[in-house]
Amino acid sequence: MRRAAVLVLVLLLAGCTIGKKEKPAPSPSPDLTAAPSAIAVNPGPYASGPFPAPAKGALVGAWIKPDELTHVGRLAAVESLQADLGRRLSIVNTYRRFEQKIGTPADKEFQAQGATLMISWATGDNRSILDGEHDKLIRKQARAIRKLHQPVLLRMRWEMDRPNLRPTMWSGADYIAAWKYVREIFRQERAENVSWVWCPTAEGFMRGDAPDFYPGDDQVDWTCVDVYAGEKFQPIGALMDPFLRWAAQHPKPIVVGEFGVAKAWGSAGRAAWLRDAARTFKANPQIKAIAYFESDPDGNGPTKQFQLTGDRAAFQAFHRMVRDPYFNP
């Protein structure tokens, strides 16, 4: 009995508790004031397809989630953000399912206003593509893009490296074969206004599997990455570091296809992160275009909500970024 009493006393003095788990220590705040690393500094010249990279600076674009996925809703969402920013977007990102119409009235209106479309196209199962099951659909989409006449950025199955897409991507080799197959159909349909954008995730480069999906310099016009301070609050340079080191070895301009900082990190933290992002983009002049993900997807928690509108400090930081002459080449 005496030994048991001594053991209980020792545990209490050591601060131990029975039946309760200790809370993990909070993540340390990242340094968002240090000078960013200059990694992706390949000076070109770039073979970027029909959509040329600017000689200096970087173009600004965004995806803006509309209240309704209609012609009026899409136009209103983009116009509202542009009015708040006091400038027009150079690139408008838009998402389409495999079979969803490309070349809508909204698409054409954005072009008429001077924006370039970045079409994020969710193609389907790679092996069924290679079996020829979707040839008719692919040809239809190629003709629709050709009829847009102006250059477009096409992100064919962006984020193909995500683990949850593996059942339809199968492997890097399957994705590469499907990429080449679709490109050949576009060539046959004379869809010559496409700049082909290869866009995996920053996480895929951290894991090391994203490069397995790269079709090759002869097949890709722009390299790309999607990068978020979501579950982890780290500087964008740290999040993109493995990608930037890989991209620096390829003579291609870079578009940051999606980037965002989550509401979970607070207004001041978000503003500091965006200021650091602007410095990072400038330090890596191979980055020739950026597109913010201005959206709070339905059902997502605060680590996956990225809309800046309504967050005064964060929006002001973004506003200063996009009004900088560097981002208005």
pLDDT, position 12? 39
CB atoms within 10 A of CB 80: 15
- Span 259-281, pLDDT tens digits: 999 999 999 999 999 999 999 99
Mean residue pLDDT of the chain comes to 92
pLDDT, position 29? 75
Mean pLDDT of 69-86: 95
Residue 26 domain-assigned?
A: no
Residue 144 domain-assigned?
A: yes
Distances 303 to 62, 262, 263, 281 between C-alpha atoms, Å: 19, 5, 6, 23
Give the model's confidence band at 84: pLDDT under 50 very low, under 70 low, under 90 confident, else very high: very high
pLDDT, position 69? 84
Give the model's confidence band at 2: pLDDT under 50 very low, under 70 low, under 90 confident, else very high: very low
pLDDT, position 277? 98
pLDDT at 163 over 70: yes
Residue 271 domain-assigned?
A: yes
Residue 19 domain-assigned?
A: no
Residue 183 domain-assigned?
A: yes
Residue with tokens 């196209």: 121
- Expressed as residue numbers, the domain containing 252 is 56-327
What is the domain count for the chain? 1
User: How far is Cα 196 from Cα 205, in angstroms, rounded to an integer?
Assistant: 20
CB 255 within 8 A of CB 153: yes
Give the model's confidence band at 28: pLDDT under 50 very low, under 70 low, under 90 confident, else very high: low
User: How far is Cα 120 from Cα 216, in angstroms, rounded to an integer?
Assistant: 20
pLDDT, position 19? 40
CA dihedral 255, 60, 322, 224 (to 10 degrees): -10
CA dihedral 319, 43, 258, 302 (to 10 degrees): -70
CATH number at residue 97: 3.20.20.80
Residue 30 domain-assigned?
A: no
% residues pLDDT > 70 (the chain): 91
User: How far is Cα 137 from Cα 122, in angstroms, rounded to an integer?
Assistant: 13
CB 103 within 8 A of CB 145: yes
CB 241 within 8 A of CB 37: yes
Give the model's confidence band at 292: pLDDT under 50 very low, under 70 low, under 90 confident, else very high: very high
pLDDT at 22 over 90: no
Residue 47 domain-assigned?
A: no
pLDDT at 23 over 80: no
pLDDT, position 86? 97
Residue 133 domain-assigned?
A: yes
Lowest-confidence segment of 15-24, 269-278, 298-307 by average pLDDT: 15-24
CB atoms within 10 A of CB 273: 23
Mean pLDDT of 19-26: 39
